[in-house]
Structure 1
Amino acid sequence: MVHSDWGDWLLRAVEDADPDGLAVWYLGCNGFVLKASDGTTLFVDPYLGTGDPPRTVRMIPVPFDPADVREADAVLATHEHTDHVHGPSQAPIIAGTDATYYAPDAGLDVVETEGWIDEWDLDDDRFVEVTEGDSFEVGGVTVRVEGANDPDAEHPVSYVIEHAGRTFFHGGDARPGEAFADVGERYDIDLGVLAFGSVGMIRDRETGEPTRTRWYSDENMIVEAAGQLDLDRLQPTHWDMWRGMTADPTALFDHARSFDAPRRVEIREIGDRTDV
């Protein structure tokens, strides 16, 4: 069960919005909701859980209750980790709307293991497996599935999302690598979001002992990834989420200053809207 700290004002703001092109709202962690000029609405990696205290402790508000979502055409997952594939956060969105769920095979394995279909009375055809090289249309939005270098994930992907001549890129939790360089060569990305965080002491899942842990790119790595993608605009994500792994995104202004890309670093907080 998810309990919102904010009521439903953010969802209603998205519903009421009438963007000229493509608008995105940051949901904290690595989650986004996108709305196109034709009303098409997509969620990417929405996570409304509180973690697994004391190992992982959420540091930001829960912005909405997924049962309050009234408009959604698709939910996209980048990889199988619980803050990206999470039944209590995502299954109610599918159950309460006509949305289709898109995820790589490892993400759909989580769906099966957690019993989403039975628990939320969903049909099998609401779930679609995606892999690198796939593309599909959701309303007036084109989604292209690309590769990602996330050494902690079994099968990560990234998404290039296009509408009305604007291009949004979601890299999941991935770090610099050949996959991003390939994406940068083939697309002109207007706004890209990449996970950013510190190295922290996180309890080992098996032993419970605090262990030096890296889950996301640091300052130098995220700028390297943004350069591979040749981003016009970089929005760092995930820096706000986990106790012991948070980071200061304003540090990226100095790290990016001497490079050709990203041409601009944009810092957004949970609930903020950006036009692509």
Structure 2
Amino acid sequence: MTVHSDWGDWLPRAVADADPDGLALWYLGCNGFILKAADGTTVFIDPYLGTGDPPRTVRMIPIPFAPEDVVDADAVLATHEHTDHTHGPSQAPILERTDATFYGPDAAVDIADGWIDGYGLDADDIVGIAEGETFDVGSLSIHVEPAYDPDAETPVSYVVEHDAGTFFHGGDARPSESFEAVGTRYDIDLTVGAFGSSGMIPDKETREPAYTKWYADENAVAEAANQLRADRLVPTHWDVWKGLTADPCAIRDHIRGFDHPRRLEILEIGDRTDL
């Protein structure tokens, strides 16, 4: 499968040309992000450039770039093994064309190992990580923490620390005691929260419409951000799948009764924010 971008190469060029003072983040739609630090360290988290599996999952947003247009990357992080988080056509070409290393939990690594021959990668381009580990990528210190995602086999979350602040990516996780522990242990400036709705989606096996609820609803997203004690919340995943899209503005009423987050920040695909 070859990825064709709807936007050409302007987004990876914008990232390559950026000179952030601290840590800049670009939202890629779905649950994907690019992080670039002041020293040029560039990390991708869950970049997904596929179109889904129509008619079960149908992508509703543009494909923002082709992976072959990425010129600078130091790491690609996966939170879990689902296709829209660990995806060979989206991620393997980035590894092949840059010095980036893929990091992921066991089930994601099992998938990524299959890219080695097809994309001319080396075995050490794929690194398995587990809860409790910490590794450095350039100026970023990355802590691997638990994530409660009942739909995934080996989900993890990432706490990314930089001199400019701390970013948390929980994949598709829901509220849990582990988030409370993370919120106590770290001073999180910005968290993302996978936010969705319910709908009748074709079953993966039978293709018959079945009631489907993915990701967290408004209440759960607000609860998770409060558990993490995050200053800012960016909702994600609400934009990508036909029949399961949602309005992130609805979250605003649900965070008012909590101490955290102090600000709801709504990004659209291609938008940048900074720590």
Question: Given the two structures, how large is their TM-score scaled by the length of structure 1?
Answer: 0.98
Q: Give the equivalent residue in structure 1 for 2:74.
A: 73
Q: Give the equivalent residue in structure 1 for 2:141.
A: 142
Residue aligned with 2:3, SS: coil
Report the Cα offset of residue 43 of structure 1: 0.2
CA–CA distance in structure 2, aligned partners of residues 166 and 108 of structure 1: 29
Q: Give the equivalent residue in structure 2 for 1:130.
A: 129
CA–CA distance in structure 1, aligned partners of residues 10 and 152 of structure 2: 33
Residue aligned with 1:169, SS: strand
Q: Which runs of 4+ in 1 moved over 3 A?
A: none
Q: Give the equivalent residue in structure 2 for 1:161.
A: 160
The code of the aligned residue for 1:241 comes to: V
- Counting aligned pairs with the same residue, the percent is 70
Residue aligned with 1:250, SS: helix
Q: Deviations 1:227-265 (Å, cap 9, x if unpaired)? A: 110110000000000001100000111111121111110
Q: Give the equivalent residue in structure 1 for 2:45.
A: 44
* Correspondence 1:257 to 2:256: yes
CA–CA distance in structure 1, aligned partners of residues 112 and 102 of structure 2: 10
The code of the aligned residue for 2:57 comes to: T
Q: Give the equivalent residue in structure 2 for 1:55.
A: 56
Q: Give the equivalent residue in structure 2 for 1:103.
A: 104
Q: Deviations 1:80-139 (Å, cap 9, x if unpaired)? A: 000000000000000000000000000011123xx2000100000011100000101111
Alignment of 1:14-53 (within 5 A): 14-53=15-54
CA–CA distance in structure 1, aligned partners of residues 58 and 254 of structure 2: 28
Q: Deviations 1:48-98 (Å, cap 9, x if unpaired)? A: 000000000000000000011000000000000000000000000000000
Q: Give the equivalent residue in structure 2 for 1:94.
A: 95
Alignment of 1:110-259 (within 5 A): 110-112=111-113, 115-259=114-258
Report the Cα offset of residue 165 of structure 1: 3.9
Residue aligned with 1:185, SS: helix
The code of the aligned residue for 1:5 comes to: D
CA–CA distance in structure 1, aligned partners of residues 164 and 96 of structure 2: 31
Report the Cα offset of residue 215 of structure 1: 1.4
CA–CA distance in structure 2, aligned partners of residues 135 and 215 of structure 1: 29
Residue aligned with 1:14, SS: helix
The code of the aligned residue for 2:96 comes to: A
The code of the aligned residue for 2:101 comes to: T
Q: Give the equivalent residue in structure 1 for 2:266.
A: 267
Report the Cα offset of residue 202 of structure 1: 1.1
Residue aligned with 1:3, SS: coil
CA–CA distance in structure 1, aligned partners of residues 125 and 36 of structure 2: 20
The code of the aligned residue for 2:156 comes to: V
Residue aligned with 2:200, SS: strand
**Count of aligned pairs between the two proteins:** 274
Question: Given the two structures, how large is their TM-score scaled by the length of structure 2?
Answer: 0.99
Q: Deviations 1:141-162 (Å, cap 9, x if unpaired)? A: 1111000000000000000001
- Structure 1: gaps spanning 5 or more residues: none
Q: Indicate the RMSD between aligned Cα atoms, in angstroms.
A: 0.7
- Structure 2: gaps spanning 5 or more residues: none
The code of the aligned residue for 1:59 comes to: M
CA–CA distance in structure 1, aligned partners of residues 170 and 193 of structure 2: 5
